[in-house]
Structure 1
Amino acid sequence: APAADHGWMGAITQNVRDLEEQHPDIDLQVAEGTNDVNLQISQVETFINDGVDAIVLLPFDGAAMTPVALKAMEAGIVVVNVDREFEDPNAARVTVLGDNYGMGVSAGQYMCEQLGDNPDAVIAEIAGIDSLPLTQDRSQGFEDALAECDLEVSNRVAADFTVEGGEEAAANLLQAAPKIDGLWNHDDDQGVGVLAAIENAGRDEFIMVGGAGSANAMREIESGDSVLKATVIYPSTQGADGVKLARLVVQGKSMADTVEVEVPRLVQLFAPVVTADNVDDYIGSAFES
C-alpha cells in the first residue's frame, strides 16, 4: 500500500493486520507502505521471488504497477488489485474498488436536495490529487449529479489528501470565492485542514459535504454546529476485503451467500451519504483522521 500519510490509508493497513487474529490460516506479510513506485515494484518482486500464494496490492499508481502485477499473475500468484486500478484487467484475478464516481454522485445529489431550488447557488469543490483517475471520477460524478438540478461547480481547487494540503487549498478557494452556498471536499483527512481554513476565515454561509467517512467528520456532523452537514463513505475496509477474497481464491472457495462457484472478478463497494439522521449507523466503523 502507499504510505500511511493520512488516516484513511492507515486504517486500510490496520484493518488488514486485524485479519491475522481472525484467520490463523493466513500467513500475512505486510510490506512497508510507500509512495515510491520503484520501491513498491521491488516489494512485489520480492513477494514473487518468495513464491507467495497471493498478493493484495493497493498501488500508489495503478498504471505504474501493472507490469509487475502481470508478472505475478504469470507466475501463478493470485493478485488482488485494491482501490487504484491497473491498466490491464489481466493483471489481477480480483479487483476491489470503492465507488469514486458514485461518491461524486452521492455528494452532488445531496447538494441538489439542499440547494436545488436556488438556481444561482455557488458550488465549490476541493478535490484530492488531481492526477489520479479516482479524483477525476469523483469530480465527474459530482458534475453529472449537479447537472440533474441545473447546478454546476463555480470554483474548484485540488489538494493532496493531507491536512496541510487541505488547509492551503481551502484558504486559496475562500479568498477566490467571497460567497459560497455549497462545498464538497473529496477527502475527510484533508478536511481537517479545510475546516481549519474555514474557521480561520470566519466563514459559515455555506453547507459542506465531506468524503471518505472519517470519525472526525462524523463527530462534526453529529455536533450540529459545524458547516459540515454530511460526508460520503469511501470504505477503508477495501484492503481487508481484498485479503479475504484472496484467501477464498487460493483455497478454491467462493463467496458465502452467492451461488457462483468462483469469487467474482470485480467487487465494488457502495458510497452512501452520512448525515445527522444516520450517523449512528456508521460512526462505529469509521477511521480517525
Structure 2
Amino acid sequence: MSHLASRRGLLFGTAAVSAGALLTGCTSNESTDDKTAGGAEPVAEKSGKHVTIGFAGPQADHGWLNAINDNAKKRAGTYSDVSLEITEGSNDIAQQIGQIETLINKKVDVLVVLPADGKALTQAGLKAMRAGIPVVNLDRIFNSAQAYRCWIGGDNYGMGLSAGRYIGEKLKDKPDARVIELAGLDNLELTKQRTQGFDDALKNYPNIRKVARQAAEFTVESGQAKMAQLLQAQPTFDALWNHDDDQGVGALRAVEQAGRDGFLMVGGAGALSAFQAIKQDDGVLKATVLYPPTMAASAIDLARALGQGKGVGGLAEYEIPASVTLYSAVVDKDNVDQYMPTGFR
C-alpha cells in the first residue's frame, strides 16, 4: 500500500459497521448548551462527579482528523465536571502506545482512543481495561471487544445507502436514468463498503442504471483527474456520487473546466466547502452524506457517562451501549444551515 493509501486507510478506519443512531447529549446531567462543541448541544443540567478523560487521538494531517481533535476538546470544555488529558496526536503506532501508557500511569478515569491502527493498538486498549480504566474506542476499531467498553464510529455502508436513496428519489420518475460513481481508494475496505451500500440502494430503482465507476485517491488532485476521465467517457448522465468531499473539490473543478451541468452531484463526509456549495446552490453539488467528526464529541459524552456511572439520556438502560454506529445523514439545501457548524476544513 502506498503512503497515501496507508494514510487514508488510517484516516477512515477499516471496520465494517451497520446502520445505527446518532448519539447527541449522552449523559442525563449535561452541564451547558454550548453549540460550538460539535453536533447537537448537550442538555443543560447540573454537573456531576468529576471525571478525568484521557484522549489519544490522531495526527491532524487532514481536515477530518483535525475536526476529530477539535470536537473532543470543545466538548470536554463545555463540562465543568470534566478534565481532559490530551496527548499530541500521532499516526505512529509505537508513539501512540507510549502515550496511552502514560495516560494509564496518570490513572485517568476513562480513556478515549482513536487508534493509528486498530489491530496494532489492541494491546494498549486491553492494558487500560485490565487497569480498570474503561476505554471508548473511536472509529478505527480494536480487533478484540475486550479492549474497549464502548465503540463509536461512522458507517461506510450507510454512506452508500444514503447517497443511493437520495439519488434514487430524485431520479425515480426519469426513464433510463444514468448514474456514475467517483469512488475512493479501491484497496480499502471502506471504499468497497460505500460502493456496496450505493449499489444496494439503487436496486430499489429499476429505472436507474450505474453506467460508470472510477476510483480516485481521496485527494483534490486525483478527484480532478479521475472526474475529467469520467466526463470525457460519459457525454450524458443524470447523477454522480462522489465518496469524499476532499476529492470532490477536484471533481467540481473538472466539471467547471468541462463546462458540464445537467446532472446532480452528491458528496461524502461533510466538509465545510461542500456545505457552502450546497447552500449557494448554483452548481451541480446538491447534497453530501455524512461521516461526522462530531463522533469525537459524542465519545467525550460517553466517557463522561462511564466515569459518572450513568446511562445515555433518552434510553432506559442503566449503562451506555456497547457500540454506537452513527447515521449517515443527507445534508442538502433544506438542512445545511443546521449542519454548517460541524463542517470541517
Percent sequence identity over aligned pairs = 51
Match of 1:144 in 2: 200
* Aligned counterpart for 1:36 among listed residues 71, 75, 92: 92
Partner SS, residue 135 of structure 2: strand
Distance 2:226 2:131 in 1: 44
Q: CA deviation at 1:121?
A: 3.1
- Give 3-state SS (helix, strand or coil) of 2:205's partner: coil
Query: Which aligned pairs between 1:161-176 and structure 2 lie closer than 5 A?
Result: 161-176=218-233
Structure 2, gaps ≥5 residues long: 1-56
Distance 1:82 1:138 in 2: 19
For 2:287 and 2:238, the matched residues in 1 are separated by 14
Q: Deviations over 1:11-41 (max 9, x none)?
A: 1111111134212332312223333334333
**Is residue 2:327 matched to residue 1:270?**
yes
User: How far 1:155 moved relative to its partner?
Assistant: 2.5
User: Offset of 1:226 from its aligned partner?
Assistant: 0.8
Matches within 5 A, 1:244-259: 244-259=301-316
* Deviation sequence 1:138-163 (CA, Å, 0-9, x none): 22111100111134543323334333
Give the structure 2 partner of residue 77 of structure 1. Answer: 133
Q: How many residues align?
A: 288
User: Residues 219 and 132 (structure 1 numbering): CA distance in 2 closer, same or farther, change over 3 Å?
Assistant: same
Change beyond 3 A, Cα 1:172–1:31: farther
2:320 is the counterpart of 1:234: no
SS in 2 for 1:56: strand
Q: 1:37·1:61 contact (CA, 8 Å) conserved in 2?
A: yes
Deviation at 1:119, TM superposition (A): 5.5
The alpha-carbon distance between structure 1 residues 195 and 152, as it changes in their structure 2 partners (threshold 3 A), is: same
Distance 1:282 1:66 in 2: 33
Q: Tell me, in whole angstroms, the C-alpha distance in 2 between the residues paired with 1:86 and 1:128.
A: 23
Give secondary structure in 1 for the equivalent of 2:338: helix
Cα distance in 2 between the residues matched to 1:129 and 1:2: 20
TM-score, reference length from structure 2: 0.75
- Does the 8 Å CA contact 1:6/1:161 hold for their aligned counterparts? no
- Kept in 2, the 8 Å contact 1:207–1:227? The answer is yes
The answer to whether the aligner puts 1:9 opposite 2:62 as a matched pair is no
TM-aligned CA distance change 1:122 to 1:45, over 3 Å: farther
Q: Which amino acid in structure 2 is aligned with residue 211 of structure 1?
A: G
For the residues of structure 2 that align with 1:186 and 1:66, how far apart are their CA atoms? 29
Q: Aligned AA for 2:102?
A: T
Report the Cα offset of residue 110 of structure 1: 1.1
Shift of 1:288: 3.5
Partner of 2:256: 199
* 2:184 partner letter: G
Aligned CA-pair RMSD: 2.4
Q: 2:281 aligns with which of 204, 224, 227?
A: 224
Match of 1:23 in 2: 79
Q: Which amino acid aligns with 2:308?
A: Q
- The answer to whether structure 1 residue 116 and structure 2 residue 181 are counterparts is no
Match of residue 156 from structure 1: 213
Q: What is the rounded CA distance, in whole Å, between the counterparts of 2:69 and 2:113 in structure 1?
A: 11
Q: Who is 1:95 aligned against?
A: 151
Q: What whole-Å deviation, never above 9, does each CA across 1:189-240 have from its counterpart, x for those lacking one?
A: 3322221222223322321001122232122112221110111122221111
Helix, strand or coil for the counterpart of 2:136?
strand
Q: Amino acid of the residue matched to residue 314 of structure 2? A: D
2:306 maps to a residue whose letter is V
- 1:58 maps to a residue whose letter is L
1:122 partner SS:
strand
Tell me whether 1:52 sits opposite 2:111 in the alignment: no
Q: Deviations over 1:104-156 (max 9, x none)?
A: 11100111112234464332222334444333322211110011113454332
Distance 1:162 1:73, change over 3 A: farther
2-structure distance, mates of 1:197, 1:109: 25
Could you list the runs of 4 or more consecutive aligned residues of structure 1 that deviate by over 4 angstroms after TM superposition? none
